[in-house]
Structure 1
């Protein structure tokens, strides 16, 4: 009876202990002077405090990093440089809000496309 030859795997394995992910890069729109001025205005208006209900995180001298978050995300046709479309959030609340917005976008694909 003849023996069947086996093929060697075509895909190699990746050693995750030594492989490094690609470096993160900022969206070029977020590096403009206009966006930096918008961010500064949003955080200043919030008094350098997280605006999530019940949160006591304080930025600047309080040592907490605050994010100037778009209330209606740019991806969802929110005004990118309108200070009224901004809020100051600590990292925890910014992540939670972003996850909720992405989940809503996945449920309703028409949200991300302009009309």
Structure 2
């Protein structure tokens, strides 16, 4: 049997990379209650400890120890901790991986 030589690809060429959609923060994080909690927590010692861990110019993020998606309390100061941006990225990746495997991950800043 012969090969079909005249039939070209119907798909065409694909782009080398597909850009991710820009992240859109949940409305909760713009709420007056959350903004007030962030302002209050900036006075706590763990904010200054996180600043010491941060790289020059690195952002600080008030993070939920147990993520809201996993049932963590929205506005409980005991469920929040200050993380550097890089610490937050690492923790979020671990939580997503655990959630994808059907587990919840209640890890704190010890990433």
Give the TM-score of the pair, scaled to structure 1: 0.67
Shift of 1:102: 2.0
User: In the alignment, what sits opposite 1:10?
Assistant: 11
1:57 aligns with 2:53: yes
CA separation of 1:8/1:85 partners in 2, compared to 1, >3 Å: closer, same or farther?
Answer: same
User: In the alignment, what sits opposite 1:80?
Assistant: 74
Shift of 1:98: 1.6
Give the count of matched residue pairs: 103
Q: How does 1:16-31 map to 2 (within 5 A)?
A: 16=17, 21-31=20-30
User: In the alignment, what sits opposite 2:91?
Assistant: 97
8 Å Cα contact 1:48-1:66 kept in structure 2 = no
Q: Distance in 1 between matches of 2:54 and 2:103?
A: 36
User: In the alignment, what sits opposite 1:48?
Assistant: 48
Q: Distance in 2 between matches of 1:7 and 1:105?
A: 42
Q: Distance in 1 between matches of 2:25 and 2:89?
A: 17
Unaligned 5+ runs, structure 2: 106-111
- Secondary structure at 2:73's aligned position in 1? coil
- Secondary structure at 1:49's aligned position in 2? helix
Unaligned 5+ runs, structure 1: none
CA separation of 1:76/1:2 partners in 2, compared to 1, >3 Å: closer, same or farther?
Answer: closer
RMSD: 3.1
